[in-house]
């Protein structure tokens, strides 16, 4: 045990089981926030470059691919959430031997996942674009983008695995540094490939996979050369089946949740596609802008997952509840503040991407319908993060499956038969955010999630 504490003192890892709760969460969440911000900025640049220098069809093509990409990637992304929870609990419980096995199992699983996603995405994504009723005028550009993107998906998976390892050990700063380098590289390559070489959506896709490869190389250079407790040895990279089962037990519900939500979002995107390229471009532009409101939400959600799992692993259950309260309130305030800014300044913000009045009108319409409800989105994501950290990943999966998939799709399908208006599609988001937030809140106060975590820890 003494060896463990000596190692902790010499490393960049950080336990969040003692000290100021608010500082622990903020110090962990802030680098994630900045990393997500830089990612959002390079996505904004993608959109601006295509909208200004190529045209609205190219803009519609790339923005319509997001739900499809996450549909294919979402399952594995969710499983890596389970990886982080398990490693955080082991780290909080100071089980150094199992931490090492978990790290190498993570890398082995990432390598297998990358190969699988490359094959699935490259060969099946173009067929799914057709099923999504992607207009013929943007189909070729969208196909080029997704196929090139999936050729480089292994780099994204490897970076996410390395980032997850560092974050589970309490280090969220170095993943930030790598994201900054990746984002700056992406922006520069966007300008070179699209404006100078005239590669259009292909250029944006190439810029993305090259920048992702840079971040993967930088992060694994750290893992392979560090002398800290999270060092990766190539000879030790293999699947530990018992640990893999723990990863999957927590991660598969999160992965299913991601995939199911993505299926719903693909359906929603299909519903937007039927209104044509103008609607696709306007919606896609506002999605990029609204992404800034989601940044603090996802940052605090990730912080709360690690914070909760570490403190449960250490048996600090009172800290779990105090931290949950702080995380929920902070994310609500931040998300809704950004929502109000978007509501007020939507017309000027859309002008960043396009001068097309029709596209601007659609973007403003979406902002007016959704921006006042970002606090409900914050409640849903933060509470889902807390429950995952407590090992209760079935709960967020079930709630979001019901409301963000079944109800959302059913609502749009039925309502469009009576009112053929894109406002029906946009209104589905705040409606389902609100319903899921209500259920999550009831479970938080009435459920037995924390006591069950105590029991599982003593077994």
Report the pLDDT value the prediction gives residue 11, as an integer from 0 to 100. 45
Q: Which residues contact 4 (CB under 8 A, 6 or more apart)?
A: 94, 96
Report the pLDDT value the prediction gives residue 456, as an integer from 0 to 100. 54
Report how far Cα 429 is from the mean position of its chain's Cα atoms.
Answer: 17
Residue 79 backbone dihedrals phi, psi, to 5 degrees:
-65, -40
Each domain of the chain, given as residue ranges in start order, spans 17-452
> Torsion-angle region of residue 198: left (phi > 0), alpha (psi -120 to 50) or beta?
left
Measured CA to CA in angstroms, residue 85 lies from 178, 237, 291, 300 at distances of 22, 20, 25, 15
Report the pLDDT value the prediction gives residue 394, as an integer from 0 to 100. 85
Look up tokens 């259009």; give the residue. Answer: 200
Of the candidates 41, 431, 82, 384, the one whose C-alpha atom is nearest the C-alpha of residue 244 is 82
In this structure, are residues 311 and 92 in contact, taking their beta carbons and an 8 Å threshold? yes
CA distance 60 to 306: 36
Model-level pTM?
0.71
Break the chain down into helix, strand, coil percent, rounded to 5.
Answer: 85, 0, 15
**Dihedral sign computed on CA atoms, order 148, 151, 154, 157:** positive
Q: Which residues contact 287 (CB under 8 A, 6 or more apart)?
A: 63, 66
Which 3 state secondary structure label does DSSP give 351? Answer: coil
In this structure, are residues 169 and 13 in contact, taking their beta carbons and an 8 Å threshold? yes
In this structure, are residues 12 and 228 in contact, taking their beta carbons and an 8 Å threshold? yes
CA distance 214 to 359: 34
Pairs from 130-134 (Cβ < 8 Å, separation ≥ 24): 131/270, 132/64, 132/68, 132/266, 132/269, 132/270, 132/273, 133/270, 133/273, 133/274, 134/61, 134/64, 134/273
pLDDT tens for the chain, 459 residues long, are 333 333 443 445 566 788 889 988 888 888 878 877 877 777 777 777 877 788 778 877 777 777 778 777 777 777 777 787 788 778 777 788 888 998 999 999 999 999 999 999 899 888 888 888 888 888 899 899 999 999 999 998 999 889 888 877 777 788 888 988 998 999 899 899 998 899 988 999 999 999 999 999 999 999 999 888 889 999 999 999 988 888 888 778 777 777 777 777 778 888 898 898 889 888 888 888 888 778 888 888 888 988 888 888 888 888 988 999 999 999 899 889 999 999 999 999 888 877 888 989 999 999 999 999 999 999 999 999 898 888 887 888 899 889 998 999 999 999 999 989 999 999 999 999 999 999 999 999 886 777 655 545 444
Please give the torsion angle defined by the CA atoms of residues 173, 175, 176 and 182, in that order, rounded to the nearest 10 degrees.
160
Look up tokens 């959600």; give the residue. Answer: 301
Q: Which residues contact 142 (CB under 8 A, 6 or more apart)?
A: 61, 62, 64, 65, 129, 134, 201
Report the pLDDT value the prediction gives residue 2, as an integer from 0 to 100. 36
Angle at 406 between CA 402 and CA 409, to 5 degrees: 145
CA distance 459 to 455: 7
CA distance 183 to 36: 10
Give, rounded to a whole angstrom, the gap between the first and last alpha carbons of the chain: 21
- Encoding tokens for residue 435? 């319903």
5-21 core/surface letters (b: 16 or more CB in 10 A; e: else): eeebeebebbbbbeeeb
Report the pLDDT value the prediction gives residue 14, as an integer from 0 to 100. 62
CA distance 448 to 93: 22
Report the pLDDT value the prediction gives residue 13, as an integer from 0 to 100. 56
Number of alpha carbons in the 13 Å side-chain half-sphere of residue 310: 26
> Which secondary structure element, helix H or strand E, spans residue 234, and what is its range?
none
């Amino acid at each position: 045990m003494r060896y463990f504490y000596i190692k902790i003192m010499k490393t960049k890892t950080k336990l969040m089981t003692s000290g100021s709760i608010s500082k622990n969460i903020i110090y962990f969440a802030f680098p994630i926030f900045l990393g997500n911000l830089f990612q959002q900025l390079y996505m904004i640049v993608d959109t601006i470059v295509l909208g200004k220098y190529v045209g609205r069809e190219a803009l519609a093509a790339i923005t319509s691919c997001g739900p499809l990409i996450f549909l294919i990637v979402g399952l594995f992304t969710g499983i890596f959430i389970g990886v982080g929870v398990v490693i955080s609990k082991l780290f909080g419980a100071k089980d150094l031997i199992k931490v090492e096995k978990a790290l190498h199992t993570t890398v082995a699983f990432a390598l297998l996942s990358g190969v699988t996603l490359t094959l699935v995405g490259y060969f099946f994504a173009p067929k799914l674009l057709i099923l999504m009723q992607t207009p013929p005028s943007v189909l070729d550009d969208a196909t080029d983008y997704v196929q090139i993107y999936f050729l480089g998906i292994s780099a994204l998976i490897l970076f996410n695995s390395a980032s997850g390892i560092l974050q589970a050990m309490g280090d969220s700063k170095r993943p930030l540094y790598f994201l900054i380098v990746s984002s700056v590289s992406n922006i520069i390559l966007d300008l070179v490939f699209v404006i100078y070489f005239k590669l259009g959506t292909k250029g944006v896709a190439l810029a993305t996979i090259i920048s992702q490869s840079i971040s993967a190389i930088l992060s694994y250079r750290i893992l392979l050369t560090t002398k800290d407790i999270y060092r990766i040895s190539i000879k030790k990279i293999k699947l530990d089946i018992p640990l893999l089962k723990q990863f999957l037990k927590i991660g598969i519900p999160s992965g299913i949740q991601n995939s199911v939500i993505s299926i719903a979002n693909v359906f929603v995107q299909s519903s937007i596609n039927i209104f044509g390229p103008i609607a696709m471009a306007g919606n896609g532009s506002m999605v990029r802008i609204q992404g800034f409101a989601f940044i603090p939400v996802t940052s605090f959600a990730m912080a709360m997952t690690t914070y909760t799992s570490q403190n449960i692993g250490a048996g600090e259950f009172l800290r779990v509840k105090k931290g949950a309260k702080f995380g929920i309130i902070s994310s609500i305030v931040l998300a809704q503040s950004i929502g109000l800014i978007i509501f007020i300044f939507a017309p000027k913000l859309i002008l960043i991407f396009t001068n097309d009045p029709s596209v601007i009108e659609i973007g403003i319409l979406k902002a007016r319908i959704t921006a006042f409800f970002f606090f409900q989105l914050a409640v849903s994501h933060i509470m889902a993060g807390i429950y995952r950290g407590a090992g209760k990943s079935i709960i967020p999966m079930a709630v979001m499956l019901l409301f963000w998939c079944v109800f959302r799709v059913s609502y749009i399908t039925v309502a469009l038969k009576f009112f053929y208006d894109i406002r029906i599609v946009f209104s589905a988001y705040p409606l389902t955010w609100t319903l899921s937030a209500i259920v999550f809140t009831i479970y938080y106060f009435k459920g037995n999630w924390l006591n069950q975590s105590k029991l599982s820890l003593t077994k």
